[in-house]
Amino acid sequence: MRLKEIKAKSIMVKSGLDSADYVVNPYIGCMHGCVYCYARFMKRFTGHKEEWGKFVDAKVNAAELVKNGEKYRGKKVFFCSTTDPYHPPEARYKLTRQVLEKLIPYQPKISIQSKSDLIVRDIDLFKQFKNIIAGISLSTLDESVQKKVEPLASSPKRRIAALKTMKKSGLKTYCFISPILPEVTDWKAIIQTTKSFVDEYWFENLNLYPSIRGNILKFLKGYDPKLVDSYQAIYAKGSSYWNDVEKDIAQYCKKNKIKGKIYFHHSSK
């Protein structure tokens, strides 16, 4: 793992997401090393030659870059879009924490999401925002699967405990069931396991980008080789698989009175 300290030029970046006005990424790269991570495209803009998940640049001046704070008042701010705000380096650098502290006086609407139970460290700061929702991302409850697809993220058990802790502290919580890996992710089981301490569920399917296709196929061959052919059919042009899953999720949420948001990609390739 290559860990480097850098000085960034900006930290509050205008977002192209419908759900956020600004995104905050205190790090370039992510130590969790998820095999399905779309953010590996960042290598093109940073000059890194290392494998994704094997480098992290810490923006050590992140908090200093939160300037003209009034323009963030009431705006939607998301932590993070291309890294995890609580991956292992955050325990040392506390950059996410420092940026949050700088934003408290301006009271933006915060959405924050992680695959790490380190997130509970900052509950004291979360509670100082009037409008905040804190989330945990889960793609499986099976730790043996998690270790293959999200090697350095917290275990599902620890993430679920973090959700419980945040809910007990009075925070609004969500579970981001993402990515839904066909025939691997049991999204209904995740809901059943967490529904007593989760306010909202967000759903995203696996987008099989060319940059991650090889990683996914390698995982499938080790997990269940028969799934290789299944995935080829699912991601073939004209497949209705994800439309059917989306309908199933919508119907399930309506029947069970679950607040759900679906963020599906419907690419045919």
Contacts of 257 (CB under 8 A, 6+ apart): none
| Cα 166 from chain centre | 17
CA distance 182 to 169: 34
68: left (phi over 0), alpha (psi -120 to 50) or beta: left
pTM more than 0.85 = yes
Distant-in-sequence, close-in-space partners of 151: CB < 8 Å, separation ≥ 6:
32, 33, 34, 53
pLDDT at 1: 80
Distance of alpha carbon 142 from alpha carbon 156, whole angstroms: 7
Q: What is the pLDDT of residue 10?
A: 96
The rounded Cα 210 to chain-centroid distance in angstroms is: 20
The mean pLDDT value of the chain amounts to 95
Q: What confidence category does residue 54 fall into, taking pLDDT thresholds of 50, 70 and 90? A: confident
Evaluate if residue 269 carries a pLDDT over 60.
no
- Domains, the chain, in order of start with CATH, read 2-262 (3.20.20)
Locus of tokens 């890194």: 48
Q: What's the mean pLDDT in 12-33?
A: 93
